[in-house]
């Protein structure tokens, strides 16, 4: 084992190879040469005393040792990125980089107008917007601020409950003109439904209340909320959409509001260490205000 601690460059190259699956792919991702990446991997293997990659017909395959090191390297990457964001916003001015994560639909459909207002108020702000239905770890600094649809349980977080986003069944008028408008839940059996492909804990919770909403009934199955929304807009069939979002589009018609209604709790989360940071405070408060306006009838 080398007595010299491996530099961050070695871990960065290691992560790039893990993500890209080859030396050439990692070199392109980091704008380095392939021999440099190979040298970094060899130096890290020497430092940790084990083989990290094996050559295969498909490129480089990660060893078990590499997979065990991966979360630690990712934590280093998140910390390095957070350090750069913190350095970008030193001083009392609202400027610098803030990394925000949100679900697909909220990030693509709800946040852009809110972020536009924030950018007009604070031109020095740079926002990194990450769209993911996974719960990013704020404590590990994967993001500075998160819009979450599950109640946070971690400590050391600033949490603000925004409210509930109502969900309802919606369809495009063109679909309803072709297939008719269902008047009961039973009539949905004769319609094209849009829904999930794989069950998640959140979906299983919904199924306990609405067991009829099962996967086998869907004519289109996708785990992408954006794809489901696009299919509803295209007139494919009937699917679940956020009611405030549908209100902005007259072409989306809500169906059976008395028989199908769900609420999606929404929280805004930030690491407590960023509470007094001007750029993060401004974005946190701006998102809270904008999201509450989105929920208002």
More confident residue, 4 or 97: 97
CATH number of the domain encompassing residue 59: 1.10.10.10
For the segment 262-283, the average pLDDT, to the nearest whole number, is 87
- Can you spell out the DSSP letters for 159-177? EEEEEEEEEEEEE-HHHHH
Same domain, 113 and 13: no
pLDDT of residue 85: 65
In a domain? residue 12:
yes
Same domain, 33 and 133: no
pLDDT of residue 2: 43
In a domain? residue 246:
yes
Give the domain extent around 27: 8-85
CA distance 186 to 209: 16
Same domain, 80 and 99: no
Domain boundary among 85, 115, 145: 85
Same domain, 177 and 51: no
In a domain? residue 27:
yes
Same domain, 23 and 95: no
In a domain? residue 206:
yes
Domain boundary among 69, 85, 101: 85
Same domain, 42 and 168: no
Q: Is 90 helix (H, G, I), strand (E, B) or coil?
A: coil
Q: Is the pLDDT of residue 108 over 80?
A: yes
In a domain? residue 1:
no
Same domain, 63 and 118: no
Q: Which pLDDT tens digit goes with each residue over 180-195? A: 999 999 999 999 999 9
More confident residue, 239 or 271: 239
Please tell me the pTM assigned to this model.
0.68
Same domain, 111 and 155: yes
For the segment 79-91, the average pLDDT, to the nearest whole number, is 67
CA distance 24 to 37: 8
Same domain, 68 and 206: no
For the segment 229-238, the average pLDDT, to the nearest whole number, is 97
Question: Running DSSP on this structure, what letter comes out for residue 238?
Answer: B
Which has the closest alpha carbon to 258: 176, 185, 150, 160? 185
Domain boundary among 62, 85, 108: 85
Q: Token pair of 241, please?
A: 């959409």
For the segment 17-36, the average pLDDT, to the nearest whole number, is 88
pLDDT of residue 69: 87
Same domain, 59 and 128: no
Same domain, 58 and 184: no
pLDDT of residue 205: 75
In a domain? residue 3:
no
CA distance 191 to 178: 11
CA distance 64 to 273: 35
In a domain? residue 45:
yes
Same domain, 56 and 193: no
* Highest-scoring range by mean pLDDT, 28-32, 132-136, 160-164: 160-164
CA distance 157 to 171: 39
pLDDT of residue 60: 84
CATH number of the domain encompassing residue 197: 3.40.190.290
Structural domains in the chain (count): 2
């Amino acid at each position: 084992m080398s007595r010299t601690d491996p530099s961050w460059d070695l871990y960065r190259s290691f992560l790039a190879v893990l993500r890209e699956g080859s030396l050439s792919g990692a070199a392109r991702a980091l704008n380095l040469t392939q021999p440099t990446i190979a040298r970094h991997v060899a130096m890290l293997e020497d430092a940790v005393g084990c083989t990290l990659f094996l050559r295969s017909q498909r490129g480089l395959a990660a060893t078990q040792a590499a997979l065990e090191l991966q979360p630690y390297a990712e934590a280093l990457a998140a910390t390095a990125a957070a350090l750069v964001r913190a350095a970008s916003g030193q001083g009392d001015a609202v400027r610098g980089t803030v990394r925000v994560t949100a679900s697909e639909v909220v990030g693509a459909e709800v946040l852009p107008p809110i972020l536009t207002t924030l950018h007009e108020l604070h031109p020095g702000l740079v926002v990194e917007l990450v769209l993911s239905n996974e719960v990013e770890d704020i404590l590990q600094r994967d993001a500075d601020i998160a819009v979450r649809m599950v109640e946070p349980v971690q400590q050391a977080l600033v949490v603000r409950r925004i409210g509930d986003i109502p969900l309802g069944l919606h369809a495009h008028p063109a679909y309803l003109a072709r297939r008719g408008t269902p008047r009961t839940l039973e009539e949905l059996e004769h319609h094209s439904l849009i829904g999930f492909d794989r069950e998640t804990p959140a979906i299983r919770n919904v199924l306990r209340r609405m067991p009829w909403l099962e996967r086998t009934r869907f004519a289109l199955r996708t785990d992408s909320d954006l794809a489901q929304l696009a299919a509803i807009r295209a007139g494919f069939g009937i699917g679940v959409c956020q009611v405030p979002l549908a209100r902005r589009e007259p072409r989306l018609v809500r169906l059976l509001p008395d028989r199908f209604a769900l609420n999606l709790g929404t929280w805004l989360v930030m690491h407590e260490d960023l509470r007094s940071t001007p750029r993060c405070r401004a974005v946190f408060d701006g998102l809270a205000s904008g999201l509450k306006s989105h929920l208002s009838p």
